Amino acid sequence: MNSSVSGLCITKLDVLDGLDTIRICVGYRVNGEVTPEPPLSARGYAGIEPVYEELPGWPESTVGVTTYQGCRSMRAATRAPAEPGQRCLST
C-alpha cells in the first residue's frame, strides 16, 4: 500500500516523556494472520489483536522542542531522520 506520505507531523509528544518504553502498533493479527492494515469494516474489528513494537522511551522533557535535532533520544525512538519533509514537531 502506498499512501504517498511525504511528511510527518508529531504533536503532543510531551505526554510520552519519561516512559521507559513506547508501544507502537505496527500491524493487526486477524484470524492468526498478521497484516499491516486494519479491517475495512467496523465488524472486522471484533476479532483483531494489535501487534506492537516496543521502542525505547526518553528520560528528558520535550516541552518546547520544535525540531528533531532538539531531542536526540526522542529522534531515535521515533526513527525520525532529518529529512526535509519531516519538519513539524509540537508539544
What per-residue confidence (pLDDT) applies to 34?
A: 94
State the total domains in the chain. 2
Report the pLDDT value the prediction gives residue 63, as an integer from 0 to 100: 84
Co-location of 86 and 73 in the same domain: yes
- pLDDT (tens place) for every residue of the chain, 91 residues total: 555 666 667 778 888 889 998 888 889 998 899 998 888 888 888 889 999 988 888 888 888 877 766 666 666 666 544 444 555 556 5
Same domain, 14 and 25: no
For residue 67, the enclosing domain spans: 1-18+59-91
Statement: the pTM of the whole predicted model exceeds 0.75: no
- pLDDT tens by residue, 24-36: 888 999 889 999 8
Q: Are 7 and 82 in contact (CB under 8 A)?
A: no
